[in-house]
Amino acid sequence: MSGQLAWYVARAAGLIAWALLTASVVWGLTLSTKVFGRRPRPNWLLDLHRYLGGLATIFVGVHVVAIVADSYVHFGLFSVLVPFAGTWRPVAVAWGVAALYLLVAVELTSLARKRLPRRVWRAVHVASFPLFLFSTIHAVTAGSDARTWVFAGAAVAGVSMVSVLTAIRVSRDTPEQKAVQRHVVRRRESPVALDQDLREHGHVVSDESGNRVAQRERSRRSGADEVARDALVVEAQLGTRAEADRRPLVVAAPRG
């Protein structure tokens, strides 16, 4: 690959990777802030979030390979994997190296999500926020297209959307919401609750409706218990009356 071609590939792959990463973060925040309402969401909405993240990882790989193949700056593999190892804009490149490791961590834990404890996955997935920040700083300080009005507008729009959605997400993360989320997690991790959701609702309760469903279930069971108790009382009363009817009638003899 010629130096000029590698340079163009590196630029294009880097910009596409940043755009895909921004779209993935924005889409993930859109889902978590319940912009589409609290009804059960189709699976393809979450699949799109994962798909965008996976594509971003692929283009980051192309970006790194093209940077190493570029003969103008003479980046080595060590320079793109170790912060401050190179001589060309070491601080700007270090932001990109840090973003690379965060991206790998987020993607690997996402692929292994079913095998990891939810707390571990969630703690690593929060790294998506510094990942977006580091990659944006890297694109602005190291990218040769940072001064173009197209990238400037895209950067302002991306940062604004992520900031607004993050503020909404944090404002809604109240103690009550956390308690509901813990309840939902317990239902997801309980085979009995999972089977109950599938039988009664046709899907797994995956949002705040789980709390309402649990309340309705408790009320239904409480009502059923009351009906059962009333039935037992009536049955006991009927049994007492039947027993009384079966007793022989004793007539007292008149005293002489």
Q: What is the DSSP string of 25-86?
A: HHHHHHHHTTTT-SSPPPHHHHHHHHHHHHHHHHHHHHHHHHHHH-TTTT--HHHHHSTT-S
pLDDT attached to residue 4: 82
Distance (Å, rounded) from C-alpha 34 to C-alpha 206?
12
pLDDT attached to residue 241: 54
Q: At what angle do helices 3-32 and 128-142 cross, to 10 degrees?
A: 150
Locate 175 and state its tokens. Answer: 């103690």
Eight-class DSSP state of 203? S
Distances (CA, A) of 44 to 24, 40, 48, 135, 254: 14, 12, 6, 26, 92
pLDDT digits (tens, 9 = 90+) for 135-155: 999 999 998 888 899 999 999
Contact 186, 196 (CB under 8 A): no
Terminal CA-to-CA distance of the chain, rounded, Å? 134
pLDDT attached to residue 223: 54
pLDDT attached to residue 144: 82
Distant-in-sequence, close-in-space partners of 207: CB < 8 Å, separation ≥ 6: 34, 38, 40, 184
pLDDT attached to residue 207: 45
Eight-class DSSP state of 253? P
Distance (Å, rounded) from C-alpha 30 to C-alpha 169?
9
| Burial of 196 per CB tally in 10 Å (0-12, 13-18, 19+) | middle
Q: At what angle do helices 90-111 and 118-125 cross, to 10 degrees?
A: 150
Distance (Å, rounded) from C-alpha 29 to C-alpha 26?
5
Low-confidence ranges of the chain (pLDDT < 70): 1-3, 35-41, 173-256
| Burial of 85 per CB tally in 10 Å (0-12, 13-18, 19+) | middle
Distance (Å, rounded) from C-alpha 138 to C-alpha 135?
5
- pTM of the full structure: 0.66
Distances (CA, A) of 101 to 105, 108, 134: 6, 11, 11
